[in-house]
């Protein structure tokens, strides 16, 4: 096939981010200036975000969904998630600027890594082919190792990077093995083509199921789903806070989006497989919440909480077992609900994670080793705005009404009830009940008085901008919590190609 201008236009967000990488690289080569390079990166992401809207809304929009190649599809689904990823990456850049501003290391390369990783995530959500899935995943992950170990002088950071690297390699091997098994069975690597083959056979043989299962294992690692969650808290804790924010948002969103797309385009109606996924979901909810219960380190706590949240989210994939299309290329009702739930939940999750990690990045010292919740103690005195936002975000994570988190959790419960998965529903409720304990405990911590006079408020444009981002995230969380209709409409219009 030929690459036409239309295709290039559809790929505009990816291209812009790619160009930004080169520009920032040359700029760093010319002149080491933290502010300049951070601004350049941010501008690139903003341009890419604008181009997402442009692509979505322009006349060419009528030609959406566009299969740019058999590998990459730019459809409303990928554009929606690209938008989400870009917003998250932009916020991470702001936090990173505030975080690294106080640090005396080579700070500029961080933005290069972040941009590369973002590009990988964008490829990932557009992937409709095993190859692009793998390329996207690796392009996203490899810079992340470097980012996690970025403050390599601090042992924890280095350790985090190496742990993530080794375990990630194991996971990638599982993913590749799964793909190989599927290719061996059907000779296809494209999702849709594979889906056609899968639908046409009456009986799925064991190798197919194991192949899909191994792919799920590989992706489940990236999503930090139990029992592949062990790395999460160590890496979140060791990595610089903006990197944790990036890990918790961009990488999770991208992997989950591609997982859902894979299960929609190549549905495997295997009760066994979906039972296994359901067990993983339940395990994640319980493990994450149980681990967080007595964790006194805010970053570990947020890491554990993200395990639990991915557990909640995984129910969406479980529900997909009943099939998403009714055979005529139309989305079934439950499939529609799954997409809706995934989108709404992810939006809420991204906003709250950005807010919480943002506060951690802004309020804690980059070079202090212990990041206990006690470091956030008395935040209400020092930074009242941040403390209020943080408290609100934690409420959202706990799923209290009037927050985006509540809408998301409501959707998950609706999914389980709709799919009559009663024990999943029960574990969502039990998990939320446990979760409430440590979220509220952390909120209490924020408002306790402290006599630690050494912690002083940091100033500077980075801090101010970061606080602005946190406030915006909190405001959006509240807005979605009160008035979720626009977000639901947006999510509903984001359909993957081939449906």
Partner 1 sequence: MNYLFLVTLFPLIGAVLLAIFRRMPVNLAATIGVGSIGLSALTTLALALQFFGNDQTAFVQHLWTWISVEAFEVGFDYRLDGLSLTLLGVITGVGFLIHLFASWYMREDLKDQVDYLYTRFFCYMNLFVFSMLVLVLGNNLLLMFLGWEGVGLCSYLLIGYYYRGEANAWAAFKAFIITRVGDVFLAIGMFLIWIQFGTLDIQTVIAQAPEVMAEGTLLTEVTALMLLGGAVGKSAQLPLQTWLADAMAGPTPVSALIHAATMVTAGVYLIARTHVVFELAPFTDELVGVLGLLTLLIAGFSALAQTDIKRVLAYSTMSQIGYMFLALGVHAYGAAIFHLMIHAFFKALLFLASGSVIISCHHEQNIFKMGGLRKKIPLAYACFVVGGAALSALPIVTSGFYSKDEILWLSFANGHTVLWLGGLAGAFLTSIYTFRMIFIVFHGKPASHASEHAHAPQGIAHHLPLLVLIVLSTFVGAFITPPLSNVLPETEVTASHALQISLEVLSSVVAIVGLGIAAALFLGRRRFVKGLVESDEGAKLWQFFNSAFAFDAIYDRLFVKPYLAIARLHRYDWIDKLAGIFPGLVKLGNSAMSASQNGQLRSYAATFVLGALVIVAALLVS
Partner 2 sequence: MIAQYWAVTVFVLATLALLAFMVGAASVLGGRSWGHEKNIPFESGILGAGSAHVRFSAKFYLVAMLFVIFDIEALYMFAWAVSVREVGWTGLIGAAIFIFILLAGLVFDARMGALDWVPKKSEHIADQARHESF
Would you tell me which residues interact with partner 1 (CB under 8 A)? Answer: 162-163, 166-167, 170-171, 174, 206, 209-210, 213-214, 217, 221, 227-228, 230-231, 233-234, 272-273, 276, 280, 286-287, 290-291, 293-294, 434
In the bound state with partner 1, the residue whose beta carbon lies nearer, of 37 and 168, is 168
163 touches which of partner 2, partner 1, none (CB within 5 to 8 A by kind)?
A: partner 1
User: Nearer to partner 1 by C-beta: 74 or 214?
Assistant: 214
Query: Residues in contact with partner 2, total (CB under 8 A)?
Result: 8
User: What is the rounded distance in angstroms from the CA atom of residue 383 to the CA atom of residue 378?
Assistant: 9
- Per CB under 8 A, the list member of 7, 25, 479, 492 interacting with partner 2 is 25
Structural Rg of the chain based on CA atoms: 21
Q: Binding string, 200-229, against partner 2, x = CB under 8 A?
A: ------x-----------------------
Sign of the C-alpha dihedral computed for residues 120, 215, 428 and 295 taken in this order: negative
Binding of partner 2 by 1 (CB under 8 A): no
Query: Judged by CB, which is closer to partner 2: 21, or 286?
Result: 21
Residue 222 partner contact from partner 1, partner 2, none using kind-dependent CB cut-offs of 5 to 8 Å: none
Residue 34 or 309: the one with the smaller Cβ distance to partner 2 is 34
Q: Which is closer to partner 2, CB of 206 or CB of 370?
A: 206
Q: Measured between alpha carbons, how far is residue 265 from residues 127, 193, 259, 382, 392 in Å? A: 11, 9, 10, 51, 37
Q: Supply the minimum distance, in Å, between the C-beta of residue 29 and partner 2.
A: 4
In SS3 terms, 20-52 reads as HHHHHHHHHHHCCCHHHHHHHHHHHHHHHHHHH
CB-CB neighbours of 400 under 10 Å? 18
Q: Which of 26, 166, 417, 468 binds partner 2 (CB under 8 A)?
A: 26
Q: Which is nearer to partner 1, 217 or 404 (CB)?
A: 217
CB of 9 vs partner 2, minimal distance in Å: 16
Other CB atoms within a 10 A radius of the CB of residue 485 amount to 8
Does 239 help bind partner 2 (rule: CB under 8 A)?
no
Among partner 1, partner 2, none, partner that 384 touches (CB below 5 to 8 angstroms by kind): none
Binding segment toward partner 2, per CB under 8 A, in 27-35, 45-53, 244-252, 473-481: 27-35
Task: Give me 216's structure tokens.
Answer: 């799920």
Structure tokens at 442: 């952390």
Write the DSSP symbol of residue 266. S
State the binding partner of 209 from partner 1, partner 2, none, CB within 5 to 8 A by kind.
partner 1
Q: Which of these, 214, 215, 213, 321, lies nearest to 267 by C-alpha position?
A: 321
CB count within 10 Å of CB 318 equals 25
**Contacted by 257, from partner 1, partner 2, none: CB < 5 to 8 Å by type:** none
Establish if 30 lies at the interface with partner 2 (CB under 8 A): yes
Tokens of 379: 């935040």
Q: Using CB under 8 A, which of 12, 28, 255, 278 touches partner 2?
A: 28
| Nearest distance from C-beta of residue 229 to partner 2, angstroms | 32
Task: Give pairs for 100-105: CB < 8 Å, separation 24+.
Answer: 100/34, 100/240, 100/242, 100/366, 101/34, 101/460, 101/462, 102/365, 102/366, 102/367, 102/458, 103/151, 103/366, 103/367, 105/150, 105/151, 105/153
Residues interacting with partner 2, by CB under 8 A? 3, 22, 25-26, 28-30, 206
């Amino acid at each position: 096939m030929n690459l036409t201008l239309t295709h290039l236009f559809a790929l505009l967000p990816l291209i812009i981010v790619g160009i930004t990488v080169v520009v920032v690289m040359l700029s760093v080569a010319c002149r080491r200036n933290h502010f300049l390079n951070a601004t350049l990166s941010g501008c690139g992401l903003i341009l890419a975000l604008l181009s997402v809207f442009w692509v979505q809304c322009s006349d060419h929009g009528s030609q959406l969904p566009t299969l740019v190649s058999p590998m990459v599809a730019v459809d409303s689904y990928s554009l929606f998630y690209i938008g989400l990823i870009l917003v998250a990456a932009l916020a991470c850049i702001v936090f990173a600027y505030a975080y690294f501003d106080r640090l005396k290391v080579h700070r500029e390369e961080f933005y290069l890594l972040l941009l590369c990783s973002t590009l990988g995530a964008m490829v990932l959500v557009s992937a409709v082919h095993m190859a692009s899935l793998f390329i996207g995943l690796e392009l996203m992950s490899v810079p992340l190792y470097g980012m996690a170990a970025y403050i390599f002088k601090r042992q924890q950071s280095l350790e985090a990077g190496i742990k993530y690297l080794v375990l990630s390699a194991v996971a990638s091997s599982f993913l590749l093995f799964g793909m190989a098994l599927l290719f061996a069975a059907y000779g296809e690597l494209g999702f849709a083509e594979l889906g056609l083959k899968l639908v046409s056979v009456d009986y799925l043989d064991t190798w197919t199921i194991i192949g899909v299962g191994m792919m799920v294992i590989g992706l489940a690692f990236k999503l930090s789903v139990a029992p592949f969650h062990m790395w999460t808290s160590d890496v979140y804790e060791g990595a610089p806070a903006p990197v944790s924010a990036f890990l918790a948002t961009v990488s999770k969103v991208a992997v989950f989006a591609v997982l859902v797309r894979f299960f929609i385009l190549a549905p495997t109606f295997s009760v066994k497989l979906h039972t296994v996924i359901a067990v993983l979901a339940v395990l994640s909810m319980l493990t994450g919440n149980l681990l967080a219960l007595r964790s006194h380190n805010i970053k570990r706590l947020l890491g554990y909480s993200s395990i639990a949240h991915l557990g909640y989210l995984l129910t969406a994939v479980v529900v997909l077992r009943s099939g998403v299309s009714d055979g005529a290329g139309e989305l079934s009702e439950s499939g529609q609900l799954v997409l809706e739930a995934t989108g709404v939940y992810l939006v809420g999750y991204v906003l709250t994670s950005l807010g919480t990690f943002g506060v951690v990045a802004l309020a804690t010292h980059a070079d202090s080793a212990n990041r206990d919740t006690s470091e956030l103690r008395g935040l209400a005195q020092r930074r009242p705005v941040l403390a209020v936002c943080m408290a609100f975000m934690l409420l959202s994570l706990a799923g209290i009404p009037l927050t985006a988190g509540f809408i998301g959790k409501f959707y998950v419960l609706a999914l389980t009830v709709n799919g009559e998965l009663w024990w999943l529903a029960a574990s969502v409720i039990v998990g939320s009940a446990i979760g409430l304990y440590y979220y509220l405990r952390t909120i209490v911590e924020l408002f306790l008085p402290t006599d630690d006079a050494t912690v002083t408020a940091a100033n500077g444009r980075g801090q101010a901008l970061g606080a602005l981002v946190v406030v915006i995230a909190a405001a959006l969380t509240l807005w979605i919590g009160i008035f979720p209709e626009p977000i639901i409409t947006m999510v509903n219009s984001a359909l993957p190609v081939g449906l």
